[in-house]
Amino acid sequence: MSDIGNQNGDMKAERIRESVMAYLGGFALAVVITAIAFFIASDEELGTVTKVIWLCVLGVLQIIVHLVCFLHLKADARQHDRMMLVIFGAVVVLLFGLGTLWIMDNLNSQMSMPMPMPESD
């Protein structure tokens, strides 16, 4: 009986060690990605377009690291519903963000004359 208890204890300790390591690994990855992003943004040599693309890629990468390592999102059958929820959320956010920028940019470019601003005495 006590043997089983010990085994359980060992397994529990092993599980705890594993999840601590997973968190530390995710933290290290996130720190590295953040550092690279700040480094790229403050770099003087790179072109603007290159910088923006890099920052977008790094941002998405870091969000994935957070989802996997901190929020424990996995692509297995047990979490299927949760995964669907996250994908749905990502689609809505992208539609919202990019759609708004696209439409407003379109409106702006079709506004051939600058709007006269009413003077506020």
Partner 1 sequence: MNAEISHSEGVEDAGSARKSLVGYGFWLFIISDVVLFSALFATYGVLRGSTDGGPVERDLFDLGHVALETGLLLTSSLSCGLAGIAASARNRLWCQVFLTVTLVLGGTFLYLELQEFSEMCEVGATPQRSAFLSSFYALVGCHGVHVFCGILWGMMIQLLMWRRGFNEGVLRRLMCFSLFWHALDVVWIGVFTVVYLFGVTL
Instruction: Summarize as ranges the residues that interact with partner 1 (CB under 8 A).
Output: 12, 16, 19-20, 23-24, 27, 30-31, 34, 37-38, 40-42, 48, 51-52, 55-56, 58-59, 62-63, 66-67, 70-71, 81-82, 85-86, 88-89, 92-93, 96-97, 99-101, 104
Least distance CB 108 / partner 1 (angstroms): 9
- DSSP codes of every residue in 29-83: HHHHHHHHHHHHHH-SSS-HHHHHHHHHHHHHHHHHHIIIIIS----SGGGHHHH
Least distance CB 19 / partner 1 (angstroms): 5
Going by C-alpha positions, the residue among 45, 49, 69 that lies closest to residue 57 is 49
Of 81 and 121, CB closest to partner 1: 81
Rounded CA separation 93/86 (Å): 10
Of 49 and 113, CB closest to partner 1: 49
